[in-house]
Amino acid sequence: MQANNIDRLKLATGLLLLVLLIVLTATRPRASVPAGREEVVFWHFWGGHDRRVVEEIVNRFNQSQDRHFVRAVAMPGNNLDMKMFLAVTGGDPPDLINQDDPIVADWAHRGALLPLDEIASPAEIEQLNGWLLPAARQLGSYQQRLYGLANGLDIRALYYNRTLIEQRSGQPAPRQLASIEQLDRLAEACVVEDPDGQPTALGFLPDPRRLWAWGVVFGGAFYDADTKRVTAADPANVEALQWMASYRHRFGPDNLAAFRQGDQSLPGKTFPLLAGRYAIVLDGQWRVRDIRAARQQQLEQGQPPTEYGVWQLPAPRGRQAAAEGWVNGNLFLVPRGCRNAAGSWEFMKFWSGFGGHEAEAARIASQGGWIPVSQQVMDHPLFVQYLEENPLFAEFVRLAAGRQVPTPVIPGARLYYRQLNQAAGRLLYSKQELSARELLEQTTRAVQQHLQRLERHDAGSAGGGS
């Protein structure tokens, strides 16, 4: 038995070293760096159309100056943190990473990131804090220090098929929703059922991953920074989850699960709203590109184009929302131990628009369909023109400048994100009768215990080193 364990350990170690070798190989230059320049190895997660946009941005930066040379390395898929920490362990981390997971606090807590005040001057940091939109500043901050520079925000809102709503309800679709109750009424009016009473198309279906957004719209909060307490079971969050579960009671968990599974089976990751499965869908600004392409195709085929719109998330009648919704985004992070932090900082500024690069950032945001992280970039004429040509996207930009709440930037944020989503999913899809309050209390305990373990570990480490 002991020999088997040793063999397993050797196999695991060998596999780990193999992965490490692959990761380190990915960071090595594939071509020579121009003479007199310092390389910036840049890992990112984009693929497809967006990868081509990223490569164009990198080329423009490389042509704009003669000190640094960015080499972009696409690292799609999961386990970016494992790849990064393996590279750090091997002594060859990338110089810059862009990611969209809530891991800033985890990586900063483990000492894996350089805070921006160790890269930029005090004057730049002061200016940057005022230049960033509040949501962008929150996303990159941990313990009152900036560890990440956001280069694009992701906002959620309700897309609606105006043509479909008016056909099914027999009434004009509202320009704005007055309340959550109005959303429910419109959703009910757009349900299509077969002769047996089974739904074949829905008006709307809550997504368990979006309790983060609905909770704050209902007036709730998920973390108290003053007391360092997890507040998943905030009464307003419980009420929001109970409202989401009302669709389960209306249609049954099997139908909800079947519709979600059907969404995942659509060809080519088709936007479910375009497939006619729903009249209303909560999603992010990147779907504007899908809608624009679908309308263009209808015009080319001589068909009247379907009309779509965007609604801000509505609160319950008479309720004051804590925020307009939930925000996440893409963040630049500089690993500790990298070789060219100065070059990383210059590229970060170029892409985000900071330090006089607003025109370039406006161009980038227009190319990629990304929401800028500064009002100064939003106000640039190039981006203003883009918004005039894309009114649906403009609504997301308007919301980005308002009150948007990110996943709490705490060690264990990704655990919290996953636990909350699982709790909401259990309530929506389970055949058992579960309690929204109990599920959120379980989430609270699990994440709070994780934070307490980290505190004890930190205290023990500090004691051992004194």
Q: What is the pLDDT of residues 165-212, one digit of tens each?
A: 999 999 999 999 999 999 999 999 999 999 988 899 999 999 999 999
> How would residue 87 be classed by pLDDT, with cut points 50, 70 and 90?
confident
Residue 402 CA: distances (Å) to CA of 218, 367, 397, 405: 16, 23, 9, 10
Share above pLDDT 90 across residues of the chain, in percent, rounded to a whole number: 80
The yes-or-no verdict on residue 448 having pLDDT over 70 is yes
Phi–psi pair at 199, nearest 5 degrees: -70, 135
Range with the poorest average pLDDT among 11-15, 260-264, 380-384: 11-15
Mean of the pLDDT values across residues 297-322?
95
> How would residue 22 be classed by pLDDT, with cut points 50, 70 and 90?
low
CB 280 within 8 A of CB 204: yes
pTM attached to this predicted model: 0.90
pLDDT at 463 (0 to 100): 64
pLDDT at 77 (0 to 100): 65
State the DSSP code for 266. S
pLDDT at 8 (0 to 100): 54
Picking from 143, 44, 139, the residue whose alpha carbon sits closest to that of residue 84 is: 44
pLDDT at 29 (0 to 100): 46
Angle, helix 253-264 to helix 413-429, in steps of 10 degrees: 120
Mean of the pLDDT values across residues 304-315?
96
3-state secondary structure of 72: strand
The yes-or-no verdict on residue 15 having pLDDT over 70 is no
pLDDT at 265 (0 to 100): 81
The yes-or-no verdict on residue 30 having pLDDT over 70 is no
Mean of the pLDDT values across residues 365-372?
94
The larger pLDDT score, comparing residue 269 to residue 279, is at 279
> How would residue 27 be classed by pLDDT, with cut points 50, 70 and 90?
very low
The yes-or-no verdict on residue 160 having pLDDT over 90 is yes
> How would residue 86 be classed by pLDDT, with cut points 50, 70 and 90?
confident
CB 94 within 8 A of CB 27: yes
The yes-or-no verdict on residue 11 having pLDDT over 90 is no
> How would residue 19 be classed by pLDDT, with cut points 50, 70 and 90?
low
The yes-or-no verdict on residue 20 having pLDDT over 80 is no
Longest dimension (CA), the chain: 76
Query: Mean pLDDT score of the chain, rounded to an integer?
Result: 91
Mean of the pLDDT values across residues 224-248?
97
- What lies within 8 Å, CB to CB, of 162 at 6+ separation is 173, 306, 307, 308, 309
Instruction: For strands 223-224 and 229-230, give the pairing.
Output: antiparallel
CB 151 within 8 A of CB 97: no
Tally of helices (H runs) and strands (E runs) in the chain: 19, 14
Mean of the pLDDT values across residues 259-278?
87
State the DSSP code for 218. T
Q: Which domains are present in the chain? A: 2-154+327-405 (3.40.190.10), 156-326+408-455 (3.40.190.10)
The yes-or-no verdict on residue 440 having pLDDT over 70 is yes
Residue 49 CA: distances (Å) to CA of 42, 54, 55, 289, 367: 18, 9, 10, 11, 10
pLDDT at 187 (0 to 100): 97
Picking from 151, 68, 101, the residue whose alpha carbon sits closest to that of residue 339 is: 68
